[in-house]
Structure 1
């Protein structure tokens, strides 16, 4: 029989086999084996039918299955014919099979049996192939997921969204002049090329940058060896984390890595190193990973748009980074910017192509948009010519200005008025800043000429966008516009449509699509600059109106419920009331800029439950609670005075304390759930006038919160110099200590506040004060890499060899954490290279352990430049030399560190004729160049397991923190410092998490399948000098 292949055909074979099995009933014994094989075939066919359900098969596999299905059908048909020959119907007993007494052809039966077995094996082989392919596919899927996790960890910036946004704004056919220019063609074709594209505001630099990116993507879309990365700087996110140097580098690196066939191993190593710790790479690590990634690219292009819209210090460091990277890699770099002298100077010797909208492009845009003008224009060709040519001349290469001028003509009621407006606009276009001011003035005049509701809507929108503390989503803004003063609840049907908002604003605002939702913003950086200068003219009470809206929103009856007791309920509140987060975080900042109605304010602050709800939103930013001492499930204990002090609202504090009796300190000494008085929050946020007011009214400046922090300690740690000086003028002790014995100077050094350190030292702050962990301000500054603080403390003759309770020095901490400049400074001051901590590790050992390559080279160079290498008390071998006279530290049949069971080594140990006895020997770990030796191999075994290859890490589960630690001491410090929890002994077991098993031994690369096998292999490799004669 013939089978046209489909999975259902196996069901046909299955039914055919089952039918034959019934015919074997009462068959002679000669048929038993054949009957059993037919039964087996039916089972395998059924299993195969199930296995292939919903499986996508390739062409070859389909053909193979078709052949097997046909073969199965054929052999079963022959079995059926054979049965027909050997059986017959017994008419005497009804319809019943009777077996003929014929001579059995044993060869025929055996042949049929073999053919059935053969088909069974074929089916099993197919099943194996499908299973193997599925496993491979699953492994590839898991690998892809791991790669995506690595890229997502590196950066989540929506760079593609921004590119698409600018590309959509391009007028068809524009920008071709740049792509066809010889200077751009040279840049694109020659490796290591740099091209600087400056331009005046509104010239279309960002649009042209998107055109360039699109050109590169199109040109190299089929070449995965070419890396393309870009970044659009933006005035809207000038102070946002996404525009910090590290964020920009991460975004660029992600794009370069994402385009490659495989994620670079260096990037995966960086991911594995930092993901578990909750840390981010240093600039040195970014540089090395960039270089490794670029080495996998045949060509690479980086495009940075609008350098002028990025912070000046970030621009300087970004250009330093890229230009240094370019010196050793085939990297093409293009940047756009306004003509800023500091930026232009960096490209002085580089090819330059000024960005100006080509007249043909501007004219094409104008001709394509004349339809927005009144209908009488379409009937007057001469007027059309005048509008296009005069506007093009006046725009002088500025696309944005041409657009604004065209829109200003939109509502003229006659040809004469339109010509007058056109003449007025073109007369001031000789200088672009005046031209833009005029264009924006005209836009505001159009808004003022609208009907009352439209005018009011536009003014509110523009005031919110201009004065808001961060960019608003469209939904947040619509919520704000829907709030009605005096109402006690929110009405969804009072929200204006987004289209009406944009229409009312006369082309001055636009929306940008983001993964988090549409963001509404001003149309251009020049518009932002205009309103930052003139907001007091157009909407002088903006901050007061915004603050009033926020307080009204927070006073809705729904917030009478107080805090949300669960995370689910809290997130539901955030979703239901989109303005809740912004209002909680910023109402006080707006109220500090401009006062609001006193009655509204006091009614809100006197309602404890509404204040609680506000504080819950206040302490929740970006998905986590910002103050570790705050329990989201309990009322924060804030009073209205706490909240007023937090935001620095002096007039409100004065009002609340108007009838205050200094003899009764209950009001100013009331503590919240974190143990802080109102004065502490004023100090924390640097509101000096409020602090001074509290001090004058007898508030206790030595009041301590739950962690022992005083107001002066909070001011010092947050870097508020004026507030600190206020405390010092009131003779507050600068050496007050918290529960960890840390002083204000310790906190200031830890946070890198140089001015605070300078202010504290002359007032008697102890530069050698030790905290609970034995750390001095110098050790904290070195730990965090604050070069100027380290230098200042060293000038005060602070001992640079001072050690903490772990035996760590300043050089040790700086080496571990990758602070190259601090290491250089400490070496210049004579810091010892051979200082060993309690574990016997030197600074070099820490640098090697944490893969700080630049510091490793620096320390080795410093060691060689000094008078001889550092020596341990046991031998005179250099730290990095551990290869002479080596013996294995483990016996021939070593015990696994993990299990204690004897196992066979997974690789052959180095041959050595010396005895393996421990007697008279010293053992040294070459993995960390440990200078102190041990005479006990088991101590060294624990050292290798616990410090180099831990099976478990400690994971912090407090407040969605998620940081992980390898060392118990660091975990204890973190829990005490960040979460005010003392964790000891067996309590740590609850925080343990098993590490992913390495793919193989890091020394010999041998694959391993268990931790026990991994430890055994590592132990086999670890060797030590045989120094019996030198042992003490």
Structure 2
């Protein structure tokens, strides 16, 4: 140790104490009592000193504890030294037999001995106290470590999306000395200081909005660095991830909740509840649950800030919902919102009457940037101060507050060989029209002209890069792009040494692309959203055959000899193939989409589709990566019988299908392992022209696959209206049933395709058709919360009280899943909130258990329906309206004050008999649907709260688990198209860990039987189970 003593010091004390203890062993009989006291105390001291040595080995000590230990160590050393000197004085009289005589003759100084004894005891007590403190601190540290681990696990489950890397990237791009005007502005300072404030920061493209947003975020992080009561959350919307899952409303809310809860010392109870509820299920919370948890988290924060950059680069529908939610959260909280965007009317109107601060690149900042980057220009510029001033001032004036435009103009001067040519280019750039769209187009045109003027190899490389980035179906990683650029047409294998370096790729593109470092690997993208818009308009001018070239590259890649090895038979081999051939994933999933946009060489494509092994390898990548391997018959081993025609039909390649059928007409009726013909795949993916082609060639439209699905059923479930109408015009049966007795209407209702529902109903589809689970289309639509579908079915006068095999109605499912608008529609149509399912549970009971806002609708409906409905609903277990699980806005929105909520009824004792007309309430949940039989309630406790076994989905890719067998069966049928048998279900059971003790009385239990017995005892106990008459 570095604070005055070491572990060795305590070892020395231990050895010294042990040595002294042994010297008392030979004491004469008349000193027995005295020596016994000494031996006991010194032995205790040696033991405690030894324990202290062990405690200090791994202890982390604070300064006060270090000082205390230093003093105790010194005191122990002193008292042991004094004891040793005393022994020396009494024993050093003679040698040999003389010692024994000395023990007999000399009288001990009792006061001296007593003082030493007291000092030994005092040091023993001090050491024990220190040891206890260290032990306690270690326990606290261990508990804190577990708490932090649980905290992080909860946050990681909530959202894996983070914007810290993007924030760091933008901060690093900032030119030193720029942007200070924004942080010092009164509008920004007012926004920071005023709780609940909103600041809208619109700006023209390229004004530096993202850089300035990152500066504001950095300012907030620095200001509140040591204040855990302040939550800071931010989003960087991006045109590159426009369609990415991370920019869906659910993902944004999850990310918002994670960021707000990140620095709190404890996970909010509402978030912990969501984690416990959904982690084991493998599902995600609803929007209402995210809202409620965010609202509750805000109550745990003294201040909260949200910064959203580039609203215009996200789906407007998503942004509209996100803003509605945030603005609603602001009213009762200290939540501040700042957002940047282009000046788009649909976005601007949402900040009407809110403070606005237009962002433009300040002239001093532009000048600072230009002067700081003049070194990129030819050397003759550095020798001509007047030319430098002309460049800076002309570009600053022309850029008119657009940082990006200033940068593009400066880069356009980079390769001019003489002052005259540079001045001419500068004149051309700065004389364009003032509208920024024209200015950017001119700047990008100039950049493309520079690319066209490069040597052929550089020019071709740049064109290939830009065509891939512009026309790819998703953003590409740098490694995927390098693989694509390395493919040589006509070659049968891939050459690693043919890949260009990333630096050369960026250099060839004249500043139009940039790389972004990500933890998952570098990403290459266009420099700005304006560049994306430019190439989306002009790609046919610069690279008109882009899709054809990309498709050709992908098919060539998939035709390499390595893919003649057929499919990968193990997960390890498959992942190795993905790693070795980075473009394999993209090529398998997208070659056909590019080929559908522009045709490619027919011989190359037919050779590929005619090679069974290569087709299998492609289908493995397509289905496995795309997620289709979970279908029955589709797994890592690829569906046998999937032909080249199936693959061409999957991608909708009409000319290729036509060519294949001319040579092999019998292929049209070939089925894959799931029993699907090529027509089924064309319908599944919505290729209307190809569907018509198959029908015109006599392919049967009623052919069913192994699950009984017809092509119209597949099209209806996938939302392809034109294909469905095409079938209906040919009088295809709209009431065909699959093996679960589900109709096309059932699937369309389940997926929320209201236009298809309307079309099917108009063509005679049965709106009351029940499937094997007893569910009608209305039940499926209510289960998922599809308002338009419920409205369509409602006006058809369908049976609103139809129940499935579980006895559950549409209102029951909508109530559990929190679909407020659907609940309203059903109640307006006369749905009964007191209807009971097979377990005796009402819709209200399900709403209470799931803590959904629909509960308030049900309470309101019950209050209006009279005493009979009120008794049936049983308000005995009313929800806590102040609960952190329930948004406070709900009662008010229904015109119902908290004070109007029904109150609890008094409880009565429970007799030992059961079926006597009384109702029993579960002691472990907010269950209001009571039962008159204690045994039913006991089964409820056993099955719902503490099941001994959990059912685990057997599919390798699926992590879902279930407590209830009926939901497990539905999951297997719906998600995996499998009809699970009882013996298979038994094999899916996994025993849960035994609880440490009874959840009610905390008595320790030794087995599941013991646990259930104790719980059932409490269920019958008047002190726990409550009763209502």
State the TM-score, normalizing by the size of structure 2.
0.90
Mapped contact 1:27–1:99 kept (Cα < 8 A): no
Matches within 5 A, 1:604-619: 604-619=608-623
C-alpha distance 620-24 of structure 1, shift in aligned 2 (>3 A):
farther
Tell which deviates more after alignment, 603-612 or 747-756. 603-612
Contact 1:955 1:964 in 2 (8 A): yes
Q: In 2 relative to 1, CA 428–117 (structure 1 residues): closer, same or farther, beyond 3 Å? A: same
What is residue 937 of structure 1 aligned with on the other side?
A: 934
- Which deviates more from structure 2 when the two are superposed, residues 522-531 or residues 740-749? 740-749
Write the distance in 2 (CA, Å) between the matches of 1:932 and 1:146.
35
Structure 2, unmatched stretches of 5+, are: 879-905, 1006-1010
Mapped partners of 1:870, 1:704: distance in 2: 47
Q: 2:952–2:988: 8 Å Cα contact kept in structure 1? A: no
Counterpart residue number, 2:248? 244
Number of residues of Structure 1 aligned to a counterpart in Structure 2: 986
Question: d(CA) in 2 for partners of 1:175 and 1:629?
Answer: 59
Which residue of structure 1 aligns with residue 959 of structure 2?
962
User: What aligned pairs does 1:146-185 form with structure 2 within 5 A after superposition?
Assistant: 146-185=150-189
> Which of 917, 923, 928 matches 2:919?
923
- 1:449 alignment partner in structure 2: 453
2:506 to 502, 506, 512: 502
Q: Hey, what does 1:599 align to over in structure 2?
A: 603
**Would the alpha carbon gap of residues 69 and 554 (structure 1) be closer, same or farther in structure 2, given more than 3 Å must change?**
same
Q: 2:855 corresponds to which residue?
A: 856
For the 8 Å contact 2:620–2:638, the answer to whether it is kept is: no
Match of 1:975 among 972, 976, 994: 972
| Shift, 1:487, TM fit | 2.4
Say whether the 8 Å CA contact 1:612–1:637 is kept in structure 2: no
Task: Please state how far the C-alpha of 1:189 moved relative to its aligned partner.
Answer: 2.3
* 1:437 match: 441
CA distance in 2, matches of 1:43, 1:124: 10
Contact 1:394 1:430 in 2 (8 A): yes
2:387 aligned with 1:387, yes or no?
no
Matches within 5 A, 1:524-923: 524-621=528-625, 625=629, 627=631, 629-633=633-637, 636-661=640-665, 665=666, 667-852=667-852, 854-870=853-869, 876=871, 879-881=874-876, 918=914, 920-923=916-919
Partner SS, residue 253 of structure 1:
helix
Distance in 1 between the 2:36 and 2:149 partners?
52
SS class of match (1:300): strand
Paired position in structure 2 for 1:9: 9
How far residue 813 of structure 1 moved from its aligned partner, in angstroms, is 0.3
Deviating more after overlay: 8-17 vs 380-389: 8-17
Distance, in Å, in 2 between the alignment partners of 1:998 and 1:395 is: 70
| Structure 1 residue 102: Cα displacement | 4.6
- Once the two structures are superposed, what CA deviation does each residue of 1:829-881 show, in whole Å capped at 9, x if it has no partner? 111111100011111010001111x211111111112344416xxxx576204
Cα distance change of structure 1 residues 212 and 609 upon mapping to structure 2, 3 Å threshold: same
Distance in 2 (CA, whole Å) between partners of 1:369 and 1:715 is 57
For residues 847 and 445 of structure 2, the distance between their equivalents in structure 1, rounded to whole angstroms, comes to: 60
Q: Distance in 2 between matches of 1:773 and 1:964?
A: 20
Report the counterpart of residue 889 of structure 1 in structure 2: none
Using the alignment, how far apart are the partners of 2:859 and 2:621 within structure 1?
51
Contact 1:196 1:334 in 2 (8 A): yes
Matches within 5 A, 1:304-323: 304-323=308-327
8 Å CA contact retained: 1:800, 1:826: yes
Shift of 1:538: 0.7
- 1:306-385 to structure 2, matched below 5 A, reads 306-385=310-389
Q: Distance in 1 between matches of 2:679 and 2:441?
A: 45
Q: Secondary structure at the match of 1:742?
A: coil
- State the distance in 2 between where 1:86 and 1:225 align: 68
Residue pair 2:632, 2:674 contacting (<8 A) in 1 also: no
Higher mean displacement: 197-206 or 836-845: 197-206
Encode CA deviations 1:156-175: one digit per residue, 9 max, x unaligned: 21211111111222122222
Distance in 2 of aligned mates of 1:126 and 1:565:
61
Deviations 1:576-634 (A, max 9, x none): 22212111111111111112222322232233222222222212348995646422146
Aligned counterparts of 1:924 and 1:371: Cα–Cα separation in 2: 83
Contact conserved, 2:907 with 2:1028, CA < 8 A, in 1?
A: no
For residues 989 and 488 of structure 1, what CA distance do their matches in structure 2 show?
46
Classify the secondary structure of the residue corresponding to 1:334. Answer: strand
3-state SS of paired residue (2:956): helix
Specify the alignment match of 2:260 in structure 1: 256
Helix, strand or coil for the counterpart of 2:153?
helix
Matched residues in 1 for 2:944 and 2:283: separation? 19
478, 484, 488: which one pairs with 2:488?
484
Report SS of the residue matched to 1:958.
coil
Aligned partner of 1:127 in structure 2 is: 131
1:903: which partner in 2? none
Q: Once the 2 structures are TM-superposed, how far is the Cα of residue 568 of structure 1 from its aligned partner?
A: 2.2
Whether contact under 8 Å (1:675, 1:705) holds in the other structure is: yes
Tell me the residue number matched to 2:898: none
Comparing 281-290 with 802-811, greater Cα deviation is found at 281-290
Aligned partners of 2:28 and 2:103 also within 8 Å: no
Distance change >3 Å, CA 558–CA 34, structure 1 → 2 = farther
CA contact (8 A) 1:879 1:929 kept: no
SS at match of 2:775: coil
Aligned counterparts of 1:914 and 1:379: Cα–Cα separation in 2 = 100
Farther-moved stretch of structure 1 (411-420 vs 949-958) = 949-958
Q: How do 1:400-415 residues align onto structure 2 when only pairs under 5 Å count?
A: 400-415=404-419
Change (3 A) 1:36 1:489: farther
Helix, strand or coil for the counterpart of 1:506?
Answer: coil
Query: How big is the shift at 1:1024?
Result: 4.0
Secondary structure, aligned partner of 1:511: strand
CA contact (8 A) 1:175 1:208 kept: yes
Alpha-carbon distance change, 1015 to 587 in structure 1, aligned in 2, over 3 angstroms: farther
CA spacing shift, 1:92–1:204, aligned 2, 3 Å: closer
Q: CA deviation at 1:302?
A: 1.5
* TM-score of the two chains, using structure 1 as the length reference: 0.89
SS at match of 2:433: coil
RMSD: 3.1
1:53-99: per-residue Cα shift (whole Å, max 9, x none)?
23322223323333443344344444544554565799789x99999
In structure 2, relative to structure 1, the CA distance for the partners of 1:389 and 1:596 (3 Å cut) is same
Segment drifting more, 162-171 vs 652-661: 652-661
Change (3 A) 1:292 1:689: same
Q: CA deviation at 1:34?
A: 5.0
Structure 2 vs 1, CA of residues 552 and 46 (structure 1 numbering), >3 Å: closer, same or farther?
A: farther
Deviations 1:465-485 (A, max 9, x none): 001111111111111112222
Moved more, 457-466 or 754-763: 754-763
Give 3-state SS (helix, strand or coil) of 1:658's partner: helix
1:10-25 alignment, distance < 5 Å: 10-20=10-20, 23=23
Q: Is the 8 A contact 2:737 2:743 kept in 1?
A: yes
Distance 1:944 1:101, change over 3 A: same
Give me the whole-angstrom Cα distance separating, in 2, the residues matched to 1:398 and 1:612: 51
Paired residue secondary structure (1:517): coil
Structure 1 contact 624–960 (Cα < 8 Å) conserved? no
Structure 1's unaligned 5+ residue stretches are 884-909, 1028-1032
2:616–2:638 Cα contact (<8 Å) kept: no
